[in-house]
Structure 1
Amino acid sequence: MIVMENKSAELHRMIMDEHLCPYGLKSKDLLERQGFKVVDHHLATREQVDAFKEEKGVETTPQVFINGKRIGGYDDLLVHFGKAKPKDERSETSYQPVIALFAMTFLMAMGAAFVATGSWVSARTVEWFVAFSMCVLAFLKLRDVESFSTMFLNYDLLAKRWIRYGYIYPFGEALAGVLMIAGVAMWLAIPVALFIGTVGAVSVFYAVYIQKRELKCACVGGDSNVPLGFVSLTENLFMMAIALWMSVKLLTA
């Protein structure tokens, strides 16, 4: 019978009364999930931390060593195990925030529609999906309206002419979304959604497809790494579509 030799790694991390390093915990968990026996060295005082850094010539903790070779901190460990790309190969932009957002709002819409109609997928599901998305997107912008309005000025045609529009936009999006979820005051929700959606769609199309500019989208707030383009255009087209759809429903009711 062949006996597999246990893999071993040394981990040096801070564990103090006032601070338990989260990256140290993540490093330990990752090593154990990769089948390593972890020799866990605790740095319990600031003096021990400073002495360790000076001895090893490092600036941060935790630090991982495998077979005597220094791997580095948690981010370096992810790269070592092929779970992340090196920093110089990572893209500065990411669609992950909007994928997570739209996936969550669609599931919310399905759940709400099932409670209301007994059907998971229906016209109401789509309506609420767009309305929920508008509300969540508005919330992300409202976390830091100043930052959002600054990024928004890079491409929105109306905001460039009227600065206050960048501050008003998130409130308009939130108002239209809430009214559409409740199904009330459609006389207000429809024109607001149609207006901001149309201006937004024209602005994004002009900046990305006419001017060929590479910008970050303000759609999920002013601190996002989401590239301006298809996602931003889709957000605005959804608002236009739901406004037109609601108008048709009102006229044919």
Structure 2
Amino acid sequence: MTTAKTAVLHRMVTPEHTCPYGLKALDLLKRKGFEVEDHHLENREQTEAFKAEHNVKTTPQTFIDGKRVGGYDDLRRYFGLKVKDKDAVTYTPVIALFAMAAAMALATSWAVYDQLLTVAAAEWFVAFAMCLLALQKLKDVDAFATMFLNYDLLAKRWVPYAYIYAYAEGLAGVLMVSGALMFVSIPVALFIGTVGAASVFKAVYIDKRELKCACVGGDSKVPLGFVSLTENLMMVAMAVWMLLKPAGMAMGIGH
């Protein structure tokens, strides 16, 4: 007979707060086949006393075979699992955003035309992406503006532009989705896209600066470069297309 694997977990569970990392640690231990002796720290006094007793700064804390493993990240390392580096460069937010824009565009095309692959779907993809990118910036305009001022050529000369940009991108995107007031959306997208593309190209490819991209907001870990350049060139291409596309072409935007 094999002896069941056991672990002791101390985590904070109070009427006001249940530690999410404690729940994650409990779930991970159970998924790894451990029987868990689950101890709740039910108030601040118990929590502080536990931390003082074991000379630790945080909870939860896991013990296996009488030895302290540590918190949730330490537990993941103990099992050989990857621990996310919160400061690491990542393209995940951009991939998720463009994937959602594509899904929305295809769904809208299907709802309107009973077809997935249409010219309108491509147009909606760009317009939806502009709206979603603007939303990321508008979550914290000041944080976005602070990061944007690191590299945008116009914002460096006129600081209010760093705050205007997110609203302008959102306005152009919404108008392009609706097909309304194209005499507003086209020049706005063309202007901010051209200035943005020139700014990114200079900062990354001429000055060789290593910066974080403000394209998905002020807390971005996305490196400045291809993604931001693509965002701006996408707006320019959309504006030019809306000016030059054949009259009467079947589409949703501009209908």
Establish whether TM, by shorter chain, passes 0.5: yes
One of 23, 26, 40 as aligned partner of 2:24: 26
1:82 alignment partner, SS class: coil
Q: Distance in 1 between matches of 2:226 and 2:65?
A: 47
* Residue 77 (structure 1) aligned with residue 65 (structure 2): no
Instruction: String of CA shifts for 1:190-235, please: whole Å, max 9, x gaps.
Output: 1111111111111101101111100011111111111111111111
Q: Which residue of 2 aligns with 1:125?
A: 121
Q: Which residue of 2 aligns with 1:166?
A: 162
Indicate the RMSD between aligned Cα atoms, in angstroms.
Answer: 1.7
One of 65, 70, 90 as aligned partner of 1:94: 90
Q: What displacement does 1:177 show?
A: 0.3
Q: Which residue of 2 aligns with 1:143?
A: 139
Q: Is the 8 A contact 2:6 2:34 kept in 1?
A: yes
Q: Which residue of 2 aligns with 1:207?
A: 203
One of 61, 64, 82 as aligned partner of 1:63: 61
One of 228, 240, 244 as aligned partner of 1:232: 228
Q: Which residue of 1 aligns with 2:252?
A: none
Change (3 A) 1:150 1:58: same
Q: Is the 8 A contact 1:79 1:86 kept in 2?
A: no
Q: Distance in 2 between matches of 1:189 and 1:202?
A: 20
Alignment length, in residue pairs? 249
Q: What displacement does 1:176 show?
A: 0.7
Q: Distance in 2 between matches of 1:67 and 1:220?
A: 45
1:19 alignment partner, SS class: coil
One of 104, 107, 130 as aligned partner of 2:103: 107
Superposition pairs for residues 32-51 of structure 1, below 5 Å?
32-51=30-49
Q: Distance in 2 between matches of 1:108 and 1:114?
A: 10
One of 172, 175, 180 as aligned partner of 2:176: 180
Q: What is the TM-score of this pair, normalised by structure 2?
A: 0.92
Instruction: String of CA shifts for 1:77-107, please: whole Å, max 9, x gaps.
Output: 22333332475xx753211111111111111
Moved more, 65-74 or 129-138: 65-74
Q: Distance in 1 between matches of 2:33 and 2:118?
A: 47
Q: Distance in 1 between matches of 2:70 and 2:33?
A: 18
Change (3 A) 1:250 1:156: farther
Q: What is the TM-score of this pair, normalised by structure 1?
A: 0.92
Q: Is the 8 A contact 2:73 2:83 kept in 1?
A: no
Identity of aligned residues (%): 61
Q: Distance in 2 between matches of 1:119 and 1:9?
A: 55
Q: Which residue of 2 aligns with 1:13?
A: 11
Gaps of 5+ in 1: none
The runs of at least 4 aligned residues of structure 1 exceeding 6 Å deviation read none
* Residue 152 (structure 1) aligned with residue 152 (structure 2): no
Q: Is the 8 A contact 1:94 1:225 kept in 2?
A: yes
Q: Distance in 2 between matches of 1:134 and 1:4?
A: 58
